[in-house]
Structure 1
Amino acid sequence: MENEGAKKSIKERTKTKHKEKQPKEAKESSNKQVAELFSHLEIAKGANASLASRDIHPAVLVIGLQFADFKICGANARCIATLTAFKKVIQDYKTPEGTTLSRHLPTHLSPQISYLVNSRPMSVGMGNAIRHLKLEISTMDIDLADDDAKLLLCGKIDNFIRDRITVADRVIVSYGLQKIQDGDVILTYARSSVVQALLLEAHAKGIQFKVIIVDSRPRLEGKGLLRCLVDAGISCTYAFLHAVGFVLKDVSKVFLGAHAFMSNGALYSRVGTAMVAMMAKEKNIPVIVCCETYKFAEKVQLDSFVMNEQGNPDEMVNISTTSTPKAGLLDGWLHKPDLKLLNLLYDLTPSKYITTVITEVGMIPCTSVPVILREYKQV
């Protein structure tokens, strides 16, 4: 009996030692989940090429890693990269015996999509583009030869990129030029590819205006826009989000980009957008949003907590605005039991704070988003 008791105590001590050997950071990070209010939000698991299935195409592996590292960011850039990779998947695809391309190809695309979702949660535009591709596959003639079917699908992908993104952006820029006059002081937040194209085109047309770029940590996307506009010869002012109330006194118009538009007219965009729009509206400054219609979602969203994406909380630790890290008050946050970090990537702006939306189908109020969605369904 004494021997059995001794054995039990040895086992217990061994278990305790094993527990002690577990890295402290792993324990601490597991206890760092923020309040349950945010527990349902999507967190990027990261792309791991070594653990990926053999079914994952190399082109998808590459963009998955780039999505996870934010080397490709922005709704348009991510959507174009995804569709371009799927073109390569389709071109290299071989239909198994006993089935047809239109029946089996969606099954082959599923692990590719899952890998991208695990790399980083899918944007609304990407989801719409993938649904469009699946619809095109399902409506193809079942007797069509594989080579012809692949050629047809690749053409459909090219048409979607051209019509819904590339040409759409050009049309939005042409409409947006009507809203910029000489002497304007334009404020924009972070970096939107279509807003950037609009400002560059307005400058090329000889319109005299100034730009105030408002930016925020941790991504500091506005620095890239600032560099691009200054290189083009546009007069710019750069400020952080906490100074937006001060810089708004000189602003005549606010131009914003969009990640998505909900069917209730709410704007879903990078975090900080809602603050800029609400403060501008308070001062009776027009808030103009540039958004392609492929980013319109049928969902209804009333706040930023129902659907959002959590970024890496470690990104908030570095307080330096240069490439050299600089420790701040958040440094070592994992070892502080009462400190938890929440890095939300997007927020929601109610429709009442938005003056107009510029799309490729024209300038519309936010309330027309469901009308556009209905029209596209009927086509």
Structure 2
Amino acid sequence: MSQAVSGFIGRVRGLGATEASELVIKEFRRMIENAASVSDVLEALDYLKARIEEYPFSALLVNVAREVFGALAERKYKSLEEAKNIIIHELDDTMRAVLEETEGAAEIAARRLSDGDIVLTYGYSRSVIRALEKAAAMGKKIRVIVAESRPLLDGLEAAKVLVEKGFDTTLIVDSAMRFFAREATKALIGADAVMADGSVVSRTGSGLLALVANEARVRLIVVAGSYKLYPETVYGLTVETPALGDEIVPEDLRSLGVQGYAPLFEIIPSHLIDALATERGLVAPEAVPLIIKEIYGEWPPELEPLDNLVARASKRVMDLGEV
């Protein structure tokens, strides 16, 4: 059982997967921009690595780190400024791609929605909200049922945003998802990561939505750009999920010795997912290996372990001068 977490996960309550990762990337970029010494750059690299350890299911953070550390390990540079410019260039390119892929995936999902659909969703996902916005722009009237997503309650933020954007929105408790699945005509969720076998990592509770949608024969579409692919998982994913602990237990029960445990992420198996809406099109989960092969040039992809890249990149930076 994982230890309860505070730190980063506690600071991203109410945010979707991409927004939470973007907070880290923006802070990392700020640290690099302000770095005045080799020591400052190394501190920034340590910051990024530490956030991945706190948030191990963020494919975006892992992929950003791979690009940054890989560039520092392999590119030619002779000064601190050149190293900083390489990092900033990689970050800017990645974030442009994230925006483009999010918009593309949302467009594909929106085209699969029909006028009059009742969409069941869970928590907060920028990709899902963009898909709903695009469907509305196409003239489709959509009603949305949002599960609150305990314990982080990011579904409340999703409901607020959807109402502000003009959607007929109903907020429900997580335990009512099976009841409301009978009303739904589609189910949409986002993802923290898409694994190599087509399964998806998402906030705990998304798996319950997948189960009730499957039972009710409601099509489940996961909206996720290619930046959510996590190719390292071809060899399995062994990290434990961050979790909240005793803070979820009322004080009167805690004083009696009742312990709390709320895992924050879970894996939704591919057989419960009808399709993935990506910027490359609507694909079956079984097609994920083909996308990874297209991106990386081979299957399975031969990727250097991230820890090795971190060590090599840090060594190159240290060689620039005294720490």
Matched, 1:44 2:5: yes
Trace 1:321-340 onto structure 2 (pairs within 5 A).
Answer: 330-337=250-257, 339-340=258-259
Q: CA deviation at 1:108?
A: 4.3
Structure 1 distance, partners of 2:213, 2:50, is 40
Q: Which amino acid aligns with 1:333?
A: L
SS in 2 for 1:169: helix
Structure 2 distance, partners of 1:301, 1:258, is 20
Q: Is the 1:302–1:348 Cα contact (8 Å) retained in structure 2?
A: no
Structure 2 distance, partners of 1:367, 1:358, is 13
Trace 1:357-376 onto structure 2 (pairs within 5 A).
Answer: 357-376=276-295
Q: CA deviation at 1:146?
A: 4.1
TM-score (norm 1): 0.71
State which of 65, 74, 81 in structure 2 corresponds to 1:147: 81
Distance 1:345 1:84, change over 3 A: same
Matched, 1:377 2:296: yes
Structure 2 distance, partners of 1:71, 1:310, is 13
Unaligned runs of 5+ in 2: 299-323
Trace 1:40-189 onto structure 2 (pairs within 5 A).
Answer: 41=2, 43-44=4-5, 46=7, 68-70=10-12, 73-94=15-36, 107-113=42-48, 115-116=50-51, 120-122=54-56, 123-143=58-78, 145-163=79-97, 165-189=98-122
Q: CA deviation at 1:109?
A: 3.7
Q: Which amino acid aligns with 2:91?
A: I
Q: Say how many residue pairs are matched.
A: 296
**Which residue number corresponds to residue 318 of structure 2?**
none
Structure 2 distance, partners of 1:301, 1:189, is 29
**Which residue number corresponds to residue 128 of structure 2?**
195
Q: Is the 1:75–1:126 Cα contact (8 Å) retained in structure 2?
A: no
Distance 1:44 1:216, change over 3 A: closer
TM-score (norm 2): 0.82
**Which residue number corresponds to residue 60 of structure 1?**
none
Distance 1:306 1:150, change over 3 A: closer
Distance 1:72 1:88, change over 3 A: farther
CA RMSD of aligned residues (A): 2.7
**Which residue number corresponds to residue 179 of structure 2?**
246
Q: Is the 1:257–1:289 Cα contact (8 Å) retained in structure 2?
A: yes
Percent identical residues? 23
Considering Cα pairs closer than 8 Å and 6+ residues apart, tell me whether 1 or 2 has the greater RCO.
Answer: 2
Structure 2 distance, partners of 1:341, 1:185, is 34
Q: CA deviation at 1:261?
A: 1.6
Distance 1:280 1:68, change over 3 A: closer
SS in 1 for 2:263: coil
SS in 1 for 2:233: coil
**Which residue number corresponds to residue 289 of structure 1?**
222
Q: Is the 2:72–2:86 Cα contact (8 Å) retained in structure 1?
A: no
SS in 1 for 2:170: strand
Matched, 1:259 2:220: no
Q: Is the 1:259–1:295 Cα contact (8 Å) retained in structure 2?
A: yes
Q: Which amino acid aligns with 1:132?
A: E
**Which residue number corresponds to residue 351 of structure 1?**
270
Structure 1 distance, partners of 2:82, 2:109, is 40
